[in-house]
Amino acid sequence: MPGTCVVGLQWGDEAKGKIVDLLGDNFDIVVRYNGGANAGHTVVVNGRAFKLSLLPTGVIRPNVTSVIGNGVVVYPPRFLEEVDSLAKGGINLTGSLFLSDHAHVIFPYHMEEERLLESGTEGKIGTTGRGIGPCYQDKVGRRFAIRVGELCRPDHLRERLKFVVPFKNKLLGALGATKLFDASAIADEYLGYAERIRPFVRDTPRFLHESLAAGKRLIFEAAQGSLLDVDHGTFPFVTSSSSLPSGIWGGSGVPAKFVKRIIGVVKAYTSRVGQGPFPTELDNELGERIRQKGREFGTVTGRPRRVGWLDAVAVRYTAALAGADEITVMLLDVLSGVPELKLCTAYELDGERITHFPSDAYLLERCKPVYESVSGWSEDITAARKLSDLPPGARRYLDRVSELVGLKASVVSVGPDREQTIMV
Ligand code: IMP
């Protein structure tokens, strides 16, 4: 049975959750395959808002099973907090949420390492501070990593922490830490979490293979955006996982051949959180207006997001990498009232005009955007429900985005609510 992937084609926060929500009844299982509690989305159930960062957006749908794949890094207190908050809202996830035994565990020393590395002025990435990078470093480095399955074996976990924590203390000491960690205290704390996590733990690749064989429909929820992908994003200003659909195979165990539809989610403008090049950034009064109107403040950290014009060079690049079949254009309503809109169609790099995206951050830093202007529209479009309800300016803008990216828009979002959507 084919799978679908919903992936952001910019630097994250493209409103992927709304698309997963709209696809609603078209899937049985929702899978997260990358990242951790660095992602953020708010879901509203019966008028009550839940802030989720580790559980997939689809978790709230009745009759849907959620999977946190092996490619995710998990901070157990956060996992339990989200499970508990949904339980308080009447959503009990036991039996419908599975956590991979091969997912890697985030410990307090990961967060401390990140805090120390990010507190200097050199080499700062502007991370979310959730221990994501240091945990993935341990995964790839192999020696000091601990997986969810290991949490469920108490003697083994104590032994592992006895080995890992002294090394981490040496490392943290060298980085200037004043507070060091105690292996047995961490073991006590994490064994407490393990008791509660155990019912959710599964061999998720096997579960997914069996589900595919049984004809279940899968949707993969990519966390972060394609430009934050560790291989193809604006390295080193990226996250530490594969946020493109290429991460699905490794991060869930589901082979690529099962993923038949790739939906690329694009914000009508661009936003970015943290450091790194952003050629179309609007560091001015208009940028501030868009930030306020689009409520562009990080769900996880509350940081104001940097905002700018839509960069068609970047989206063409990520759409190709993702293998996107279509795009969805989100937050179009935020641009209402801007008299002249700009779309970046090329860059000037050291006096030369280029139309490809240099993913090397040091080259991108030197790129100056080449813009094309499109006249805007003044009307409020939040009540539009079909393309013909949109003013000509908005239609022209959408058409031009599609042309420049080379993909049709299948959905246009004109507001946060489910109904504020145009299905094309
Ligand atoms: P990390 O993932 O916390 O290591 O942060 C690395 C970079 O990715 C930083 O610039 C973060 O702001 C950015 N980032 C991580 N997760 C998200 C997200 O869900 N949305 C937008 N940016 C993110």
Sign of torsion over alpha carbons 185, 188, 194, 196: negative
Between the alpha carbon of residue 343 and those of residues 28, 70, 358, 410, the distances in Å are 38, 38, 18, 20
Residue 104 annotated among the catalytic residues of the structure: no
pTM over 0.85: yes
- pLDDT given for residue 48 in this prediction: 76
Tokens representing 242 are: 């594969």
Task: Please report, in tens digits, the pLDDT of each residue of the chain (424 residues total).
Answer: 589 999 999 999 999 999 998 898 899 999 999 999 998 887 776 677 778 899 998 888 888 999 999 999 999 999 999 999 999 988 999 999 999 999 999 999 999 999 999 998 788 999 999 999 999 999 999 999 999 999 999 999 999 999 999 999 999 999 999 889 999 999 999 999 999 999 999 999 999 999 999 999 999 999 999 999 999 999 999 999 999 999 999 999 999 999 999 999 999 999 999 999 999 999 999 999 999 999 999 877 889 999 999 999 999 999 999 999 999 999 999 999 999 999 999 999 999 999 999 988 999 999 999 999 999 999 999 999 999 999 999 999 999 999 999 999 999 999 988 899 999 9
Residue ranges lining ligand 1, Cβ < 6 Å: 11-13, 38-40, 125-128, 130, 132-133, 223-224, 228, 237, 239-240, 273-274
* 249 CA to centre of ligand 1 in angstroms: 22
Determine contact, residues 229/35, Cβ cutoff 8 Å.
no
Q: Whose CA is nearest to atom 10 of ligand 1?
A: 274
* CA 127 – CA 114 distance, rounded (Å): 8
Which candidate in 21, 28, 41, 229 is catalytic?
41
Tell me if residue 417 is catalytic: no
Ligand 1 centroid to Cα of residue 33, in Å, is 16
- Please identify, by atom number, the ligand 1 atom nearest to the C-alpha of residue 228: 8
Q: Whose CA is nearest to atom 19 of ligand 1?
A: 39
> Which candidate in 13, 28, 311, 333 is catalytic?
13
Instruction: For 146-289, list the strands marked E by DSSP.
Output: 201-202, 218-225, 259-267, 270-272
- Ligand 1 centre and the CA of 298: distance in Å? 10
Which domains are assigned to the chain?
A: 3-101+201-263 (3.40.440.10), 104-197 (1.10.300.10), 265-423 (3.90.170.10)
| 389, 414 contact by CB (below 8 A) | no
